[in-house]
Chains A and B, each alone.
Chain A
């Protein structure tokens, strides 16, 4: 549909360029110089002024004489002017017309986003209802936790904090985590999550309050990757880039095989290395099995099998994220979207699953109606939206 419009507009634009060829006029417009006409009108005006006694007779005579002189001069110039040629040059116009689709399509191929459909606010009722439901659930959880006499279960607060974090409400997330940090069952993860929320709330700046949380996280578990990661960030922001870089590298050295946090570490280390003028490092130097392509390889799955339950969860998460990133770059991959949607369904992330299925359904129109994937998407969407 959109491409039909584009073709139509292009044809129209080409038409504008070759228009003189289609409706050619034999007589050039205003081929005759209109200067004398303007001057003759001025002569009339002098006469009118004279009739109204605005100017004297001698003034009028002088003005009329001068205008007549100019009419003569204009007439002389007009006869010596070159004659316009109104037939040649057709080839150039056709060539110019060819240039129109070349420029427009060339530009649009790089800068356009034809895959994104427009979405009126009024048509996004379902999405808002979903948001509303999550907000209500979080509110309910919050109300329950605060009403409990023991201050609410720590797991509940952690869940609330993580939900707020995903909603982008970093300050509230930090408050939820903080409730747990003063309790005895606070773990290193509690402090690193608090640190993460505080840093996000300040748009990536490590505040003293965040740094305290980072230090506590590391004190409780020196191997907590999130703690180490934010420690390096704090060091880099204090101007201690070499120490930050060394910390990241030393932690990467301790890794045994691949872990999902390593990618972020490598990226961070390379960013710091750039300011220090050092050579970048590669993930494969530390985790040789992580050299796989887009999807999970046999080794990845084998590696996942050997992991603890928590590590495996994170591992799957990073796989899914990688797939999602790849699809943003290459959004026409229907099977990729279906794979991603299924993964989200398994992870229990309903909104993401719905959005992935919807992205998949936009690609279905190109398929034959008998294709079984129509039914798969339809069924999944109706189930998820219940």
Chain B
């Protein structure tokens, strides 16, 4: 019964979405308050119904109800409970349901917490949000139904892809989707503003918390995915410039630009076109990501043709939403009033450079991601565009951005005093250069690009801290006074410092683990010892162990340094008999200075197997944990900024504690 209630709830949500797409919109244009307000309740209704459907599917996974095809294809009775739950969004259908759930979550969020937004704008925004949910609910109901049933049920399920049976990856999609789909509400705000023909400081401020929330989630989602790839794929890499990664990275880049552009719109009434366009494009790239991943286009351009119904439907949705919103933009954007003027050296100009570089970088990644797909579709030739392309194009583009990032926060609005700024940062620059030269000397050379990057990361970190110190007048005034100033500083200000410093910290991780990585791939027999990065690693042998739904060959590695025992590592090679596939469980000794990373694989030849030899991959990755540390700073910086009280300014004071459902007549 439960799956059928879920199915029916989806159909009801679809009906509500259809109504919400039309009624509030007409209400806004005709000034009919009742019609406008209908969007508030229907958006909450959509959330409850889709939530019910999601709960129903999750229950089916938890109790292993194999009368649901989706459960039978993606779960197994022996699977650990956590992965049964995560299986809910492990398949195409389930992940779409999660997608729509998050979509309705953001719609209901605006409805519940947007009491400071005028009715017409809110009605239009929620109507646009309902267009998107209509599109995706119909896609789900007609081509990808998560509640398709089978009777009699199969004896047991086919199990979830074991690579996905992992904590990092269980949480990765929900966060990624919170980010991807979170930008939908910003998109809806942008389209609503175009329909209304008005973008001002208040609009920018209403949009800001949603942009921040989406950006934080997307950051967390990407980092979790990267962390998962690092320890689960067994290669020790954390970013592969794989199309699946790129499609999540592009909305992040543009979302970052949007976050900054919206500040200019709020403070200076400028960059309106930029902000609207970035809002549209960011979500468009999220849709593109969903399309590329969900249509099977990546496995092969031809996989798309195997299931053309799904692919074409989502391609149609994509064309409609991107084409439609851009056409609306082309038509309405020129009518928006121009905002405040500014000089070439000003904070506005700095943020313009930020927009330009991030936009160009996104374009580069987009080209590198889609070009192989187009080429394969047109000529049938299969090529892969990987790290060399992106290292040669993307990184040189980002380095100047880091240079500007250090100085940008010192610039004041409208026109900045360049001499004054340089006076404040010259010793920061000097300190960075000295630090880099010291490192150069200690490392006895090394790749030039790596040292240049280290220089810029140091510069960004020191300049960011210098700017923060200046704001609270640290060292200029007594410490207690500086502390008082720090407390009074808006949280958004602390958030910016933290996020910018976080990027610098993460950069140390990117550079250290790429440029100074040491890697050994060797055949080892029990008793053999490898020396790597000052450690001696002794392979003790392999034993067979059993897990709940797999069995594994577990290697034992004794790690010593200068004869002193450091740790023992247990890398595993797991085999999942039901899913008929294998995974690598790497073993990592993690410290802030660097990770010692080991994984084993079956021996390459039968002779080697007979002698008990295994393939051992062992790496030392300096500073790699700075990536996760810096990323955490980025997310915390976003959270600090989100908690800034100024984001709530403009709310009618007395209705603060009342929700949209229970506001009494005043």
A residues whose Cβ falls under 8 Å from a Cβ of B: 1-2, 5-6, 9-10, 12-13, 16-17, 19-21, 23-35, 37-39, 41-42, 45, 48, 52-55, 59, 62-63, 66, 70, 74, 82-90, 92-93, 96, 99-105, 107-108, 111-114, 116-122, 124, 127-128, 131, 355
Chain A: minimal CB distance from B469 (Å) = 13
Q: A1-B1, A9-B12 are in contact. Are A96 and B32 (CB under 8 A)?
A: no
Q: Which of B151-159, B426-434, B437-445, B498-506 contacts A (4 or more CB under 8 A)?
A: B151-159
- Residues in chain A near residue B451, CB distance under 8 A: none
- Say whether B65 contacts A121, CB under 8 Å: yes
- Residues in chain A near residue B18, CB distance under 8 A: 99, 103
- Say whether A93 contacts B655, CB under 8 Å: no
Q: List 22 A-B contacts (CB under 8 A).
A: A17-B19, A28-B33, A29-B663, A30-B116, A30-B117, A35-B650, A38-B650, A41-B646, A42-B267, A48-B488, A84-B32, A84-B33, A84-B36, A89-B32, A89-B35, A96-B38, A108-B11, A113-B149, A114-B4, A118-B2, A118-B60, A118-B68
- Say whether B7 contacts A108, CB under 8 Å: yes
- Residues in chain B near residue A23, CB distance under 8 A: 661
- Say whether B8 contacts A104, CB under 8 Å: yes
- Residues in chain B near residue A90, CB distance under 8 A: 34
- Residues in chain A near residue B115, CB distance under 8 A: 29-30
- Residues in chain A near residue B156, CB distance under 8 A: 121
Chain A: minimal CB distance from B490 (Å) = 8
Closest to A83 in B: B31
Chain B: minimal CB distance from A18 (Å) = 8
Closest to A53 in B: B473
- Residues in chain B near residue A62, CB distance under 8 A: 414
Interface string of B40-80 (1 = CB under 8 A from A): 11101100110010000000100111111000000001000
- Residues in chain A near residue B33, CB distance under 8 A: 20, 28, 84-86
Partner of B155, one of A26, A34, A131: A131
Q: A9-B8, A107-B14, A108-B11 are in contact. Are A89 and B45 (CB under 8 A)?
A: no
- Say whether B118 contacts A34, CB under 8 Å: yes
- Residues in chain B near residue A127, CB distance under 8 A: 155
- Say whether A82 contacts B45, CB under 8 Å: no
Q: A119-B153, A131-B155 are in contact. Are A87 and B34 (CB under 8 A)?
A: yes
- B413 on the A face (CB < 8 A): yes
- Residues in chain B near residue A31, CB distance under 8 A: 118-119
- Say whether B649 contacts A29, CB under 8 Å: no
- Residues in chain A near residue B661, CB distance under 8 A: 23
Q: A111-B7, A121-B77 are in contact. Are A104 and B1 (CB under 8 A)?
A: no
- B543 on the A face (CB < 8 A): no
Closest to B204 in A: A38
Chain A: minimal CB distance from B98 (Å) = 21
- B666 on the A face (CB < 8 A): yes
- Say whether A93 contacts B23, CB under 8 Å: yes
Return the 8 tightest CB-CB contacts between A and B, nearest first.
A16-B45, A121-B64, A19-B41, A34-B650, A86-B33, A120-B63, A103-B15, A35-B202
- Say whether B38 contacts A100, CB under 8 Å: no
Partner of B1, one of A12, A54, A70, A118: A118
- Residues in chain A near residue B269, CB distance under 8 A: 70
Chain B: minimal CB distance from A122 (Å) = 7
- Residues in chain A near residue B490, CB distance under 8 A: 45
- B5 on the A face (CB < 8 A): yes
Chain A: minimal CB distance from B488 (Å) = 8
Chain B: minimal CB distance from A285 (Å) = 36
Closest to A70 in B: B269
Q: Name the residue among A13, A63, A111, A124 with the largest chain B CB count within 10 angstroms.
A: A13
Q: How far is the CA of A384 from the CA of B235 in the complex (A)?
A: 57
Closest to A355 in B: B152
Chain B: minimal CB distance from A356 (Å) = 11
- Residues in chain A near residue B413, CB distance under 8 A: 59, 63
Q: A21-B34, A35-B201, A38-B201 are in contact. Are A59 and B412 (CB under 8 A)?
A: yes
Q: How far is the CA of A90 from the CA of B34 in the complex (A)?
A: 7
Q: How far is the CA of A19 from the CA of B141 in the complex (A)?
A: 26
- Residues in chain B near residue A52, CB distance under 8 A: 471, 473, 485
- Say whether A35 contacts B200, CB under 8 Å: yes
- Residues in chain B near residue A24, CB distance under 8 A: 34
Q: A30-B117, A107-B14 are in contact. Are A113 and B655 (CB under 8 A)?
A: no
- Residues in chain B near residue A87, CB distance under 8 A: 34
Number of chain B residues close to chain A: CB under 8 A: 83
- Say whether A85 contacts B12, CB under 8 Å: no
Considering the complex, which residues of chain B in the window 395-439 have a beta carbon less than 8 Å from any beta carbon of chain A?
A: 412-414
Chain A: minimal CB distance from B475 (Å) = 14
- B383 on the A face (CB < 8 A): no
Interface string of B138-164 (1 = CB under 8 A from A): 000100010001011101100000000
- B9 on the A face (CB < 8 A): yes
Q: How far is the CA of A20 from the CA of B23 in the complex (A)?
A: 12
Q: How far is the CA of A42 from the CA of B266 in the complex (A)?
A: 9
B residues whose Cβ falls under 8 Å from a Cβ of A: 1-5, 7-9, 11-12, 14-16, 18-19, 23, 27, 30-38, 40-42, 44-45, 48-49, 52, 60, 63-68, 77, 115-120, 141, 145, 149, 151-153, 155-156, 200-202, 205, 266-267, 269, 340, 412-414, 471, 473, 485, 488, 490, 646, 649-652, 655, 660-661, 663, 665-666
- Say whether B149 contacts A85, CB under 8 Å: no
- Say whether A2 contacts B38, CB under 8 Å: no
Q: Name the residue among A19, A32, A87 with the largest chain B CB count within 10 angstroms.
A: A19
Partner of B16, one of A37, A84, A92, A100: A100
- Say whether B473 contacts A66, CB under 8 Å: no
Q: How far is the CA of A114 from the CA of B5 in the complex (A)?
A: 9
Q: How far is the CA of A99 from the CA of B36 in the complex (A)?
A: 18
Chain B: minimal CB distance from A343 (Å) = 18
Q: How far is the CA of A20 from the CA of B4 in the complex (A)?
A: 30
Chain B: minimal CB distance from A87 (Å) = 7
Q: How far is the CA of A17 from the CA of B81 in the complex (A)?
A: 38
- Residues in chain A near residue B155, CB distance under 8 A: 127-128, 131
- In addition to A27-B665, A35-B650, A52-B473, 17 A-B residue pairs with Cβ atoms within 8 Å of each other are A2-B4, A2-B5, A19-B40, A25-B663, A29-B652, A30-B652, A34-B650, A37-B649, A38-B202, A41-B649, A45-B490, A55-B412, A96-B38, A112-B8, A120-B65, A121-B64, A121-B77
- Residues in chain B near residue A32, CB distance under 8 A: 652
Q: How far is the CA of A70 from the CA of B201 in the complex (A)?
A: 9
Closest to B145 in A: A111
Closest to A20 in B: B37
- Residues in chain A near residue B414, CB distance under 8 A: 59, 62-63
Q: How far is the CA of A119 from the CA of B65 in the complex (A)?
A: 5
Chain A: minimal CB distance from B266 (Å) = 8
- Say whether A13 contacts B49, CB under 8 Å: yes
Q: A104-B12, A119-B65 are in contact. Are A38 and B45 (CB under 8 A)?
A: no
Q: How far is the CA of A1 from the CA of B660 in the complex (A)?
A: 33
Q: How far is the CA of A6 from the CA of B201 in the complex (A)?
A: 46
Closest to A48 in B: B488
- Say whether B60 contacts A84, CB under 8 Å: no
Closest to B115 in A: A29
Closest to B42 in A: A16
- Say whether A103 contacts B14, CB under 8 Å: yes
- Residues in chain B near residue A26, CB distance under 8 A: 665-666
- Residues in chain B near residue A12, CB distance under 8 A: 45, 48
Q: How far is the CA of A127 from the CA of B19 in the complex (A)?
A: 46
- Residues in chain B near residue A2, CB distance under 8 A: 1, 4-5
Q: How far is the CA of A38 from the CA of B651 in the complex (A)?
A: 9
- Say whether B663 contacts A93, CB under 8 Å: no
- Residues in chain A near residue B8, CB distance under 8 A: 5-6, 9, 104, 108, 112
- Residues in chain B near residue A131, CB distance under 8 A: 155
Partner of B34, one of A6, A33, A83, A93: A93
Chain A: minimal CB distance from B219 (Å) = 27
